[in-house]
Structure 1
Amino acid sequence: MSALSSDCPHLESVGEITKEELIQKSHGTCQDCKVRGPNLWACLENRCSYVGCGESHVDHSTIHSQDTKHCLTVNLTTLRVWCYTCSKEVFLDRKLGSHSPLPNARLSHQTQGNSVQDFKIPGNPTLKIPLVTVFDALDIEVEEDELKTRGNETGGLKPTLSTNFPTISSPKKKKHKKYRSVISDIFDGTIISSVQCLTCDRVSVTLETFQDLSLPIPGKEDLAKLHSASHQTSLVKAGSCGEAYAPQGWIAFFVEYFKRFVVSCVPSWFWGPIVTLQDCLAAFFARDELKGKLRNGVKFCKVQNFPEILCIHLKRFRHELMFSTKIGTHVSFPLEGLDLQPFVAKDSPAQIVTYDLLSVICHHGTASSGHYIAYCRNNLNNLWYEFDDQSVTEVPESTVQNAEAYVLFYRKSNEEARRERQRVSSLLTMMEPSLLQFYISRQWLNKFKTFAEPGPISNNDFLCMHGGVLPHKAGFIEDLVVMLPQNIWDTLYSRFGGGPAVNHLYVCHTCQIEAEKTEKRRKTELEMFIRLNRAFQEEESPSIFYCISMQWFREWEGFVKGKDSDPPGPIDNTKIAVTKCSNVILKQGADSGQISEETWNFLQSIYGGGPEIMLRPPVAPVELDVLQTEEKIELETRSL
């Protein structure tokens, strides 16, 4: 293995390994806890075949390294190599991989002191090749399995797939619609999550939608970090405030469990300062240090868009390896004026970040049993009520504040919005005569009546892109709109903007024609498929089958049956296909269906896509004997 130049001195201990062995191990389980992948780790020590789980489970791979002093391990999903002794990732010398492209996936590779000549992929199961070559070969197989022809890092190992389906490498996917509902309008918020690599300082950013925040309840040590003067710059690991156990010994496990049991039985004031909801939020949004195999970075997040109703879940239940416990720590929370300004993203468009408490759910009991009650504020009289099964009782605010909260619901607080609603209500009572009447979306008007930030006026829920009423909504348009006099429209429009203004309701002629064309297309495609499929079913012994992805077929079926308004994209068989020896075949266990050649040609002529996956039924042995006998008789007859 001396040919593999690297700054890790432990590569000498790597034994011989084959591509097939790594593939087989990737489909296996952890040898200790039997958990399946992804992200299993295989030991690379000479004559060691151990496979263990990673940090997402019990991390038996690390335990194996500590017990056996084996240094190197490879992630069977990403093929990245980690050295426990050096505590860093090992990069194999990619200069060894400057190969020429592979004709028909054949490769000729020469290394210093180790020659590997002219082997085929998939290759000889007993062939021993250098580690970097194994990984390059695996890169090819992954690419072929996914039917992608993206380039390899080395620029050399590229499979040459000769295909007749141009959409295989980059099929045009059907654009997925983002659906909305009353629930998403009320509870959806977005968090911007950033991960900074401390090795290269690169920052990756993702935007995530949430409908609730699950907050850890910080312990005494966590509170000290959060309240310290330097906590803004120090790394506070959010996982320590309520996440699952890290791998540890049995003695430490029982000591920690006993400690938590005692803490849960003793009043919280005995152990230290009171935990507030702001502390829980600070622990959740604290910078999280990412350390471990192949990880060296910092993760931090902020709120980009705030929901109208903020749902906060406190992690009171901790499920261990053998036991479950409940955290009985009292968390102090405000009834009014919950300020989330410290957790707002830098470029957030949010204007209102203050919330008032609307409801609290409490759990009485233990981790294994208990009873739920709720406290809710009546918006009409601002009084609090306890809901306990069929019993509803008025309670003072002090009862709510002393409750052991499990889930809290906060509502955006906006006094200006309340005054704006009162102003519009007073204009409605005046009912001034108006020469023009304006139609406005009932959906948006409900937002105006209830939301602190309803957003711009939007009539797009009943209007098409041409400004007319959507044809399929014309029959119940009265349920979708409200007619307002001009003075109220002017007030709302000057305050919120948006639109468009609608003074006359008419069905869009252009959309009506398109709808009729689409309906005709649905009917034609469905009737043709039924006719072709009926003929296919009547065939006694078809000579060939075509396979089609059931995922795509369900989308097409939803379209032709009128359940989906948009047709599917091109046929996408990439998820059910694998390539072996330049032949596209059906993946074992794939979610696929069988159709006739005529049906395939019909669908493919409309939607395109691919690849073609053909199956030929095996010929029965009896039929072969008959054919051979007939051929023999024919030859004898000709000889006479």
Structure 2
Amino acid sequence: MSSGLDPESGKCPHLSAIFDDDSESAALLSRYNAVVKWHAHCAHEFAYPAKRRKIAPPECGVCQLPLSRPYACLHCSMACCWQDKHIQRHLQDSGHDLCVDVKTGYVFCIECDDFVYDSTLVRAYSSLNLRIQETATRFEDKSKKGREPFVAWVPSTQEVAALESTLPAPCQGRRGLLNLGQTCFMNVILQSFIANPLLRNYYLSDKHNSKLCKVKDCTSCEMDKLYSEIYSENSTPYGPIDLLAKMWRVSSELSGYAQQDAHEFFITALNQIHATSRGSTSLQCICIIHSTFAGLLQSDVKCERCGKVADKTDPMLDISLELKGETGNEQTLTLASCLRRFTHPEKLGPNEYSCEKCGKASHASKRLSIRKLPPVLSFQFKRFEHKSVDKSAARKIEAPVRFPASLNMAPYTTLVMHKQEQLKESSAPASLIPDRNLGPASLYEYDLFAVVCHEGQIDNGHYTCFARSHDEWYRYDDDKVTHSTLGACLNSQAYMCFYVKRHLDYKPYVTPSYVVTREQEAVKEKEREREKEAARMREVEDALLAAI
């Protein structure tokens, strides 16, 4: 394919010529914004699979076939398909240069015969999508407040001075971890923590400074040291000895040099970081662990005698999935089929449930759903099956599981599942769809960023990890770090998968409860001190009067 891009700047000269002219630039941006805004409104209106409004899709201006992914000309109102090169033919015949992929916002130049990049258009695409997401998001609470609008960070004078006084350190953010004696289970989980954007931003922004912390055996301090080592100039493999020693002291199950389960280490590490992090509470915790991994599972138990539904919510830090499809076998497994089985109703016998309304034991159905989605989703596939108490009788399930690079969790949430049931049980009009209470569909989208793999058998296996760094994929095998591909990652035998929300949703800022409590206690303490001082002064005055 020939290319007319500027060899020095790498920019499209035809697009640059348009931006040099103010009137042409304004007209181009106006058309670009209109096209992006149209698609954003369509994409962010959540519709249910059960019933959809019949909206005619746009048609190709050449072949009149419906367009699932239209390409719009940026010089006129023509929209065509890409597959049969109708949009390229239109650009050539009309003498127009540019068209845009409505779905992604990418611009194609017919003269350069390539997709071209421009920072102005990228910013316009991102800001328009974000603005529509913010207006489409509503939180189901008493205040009925909308989503907190995004405000770009503008450094203050003090922050500018602080940034100018810093010295940039060359680092890759990728570093192998030494195997300290069958500690591959720990290394893969630590590599997933390092690749986690929320944990990374927390520790690299000095939210927990290990040099100022006074907590004894603080696991969060060890995490701070780990990030400091990974993002240092040193690229040689690092041995997290202190972190391993602390985990041994707090967990007798993980101590010693025997091979351990990576998922067990993951849960133990989360609990220890939670216990030693700022903002850690036993109720409505806002520490970094719960802010990153915590969600809510809802259990709905429906009595088959009277129809009463009893719901209960439980906190979750991850989701463990059985390696059985919807039909109960281990063939052709996918993450979606495992999630459908996870949220599928199961029958309960009369000995397992007693209805509060009936007052009698009765048959019932129980279904799980996700009430609250966390920013980071962690999935564990139950590959190690223990059919008896004897651990030697355990076996490993080798069935492959296909998992996607991007995941939409809407079908497995409580709100969507309840809405689908209501639509099936009633003859609701199609005008009820879409429902703005569900927010835009983009709030349910997740992107894969790390995968933990187990190779070998249950008693002599080895853990490796795939992780994303700067939009590139790498394979971590203890101290060895090699460049890899997304395809290799998706074809691996996954034991754990980690997904991060593509667009984080923010509620309006509220002062944390622990801060309010701390401030109230400080006020009460000052009041008690004033009362003690007043009582002491009265005693002194009484003693002086008695002496006179």
Please report the TM-score for the alignment, with normalisation by the length of structure 1.
Answer: 0.32
Higher relative contact order (CA 8 A, sep 6+): 2
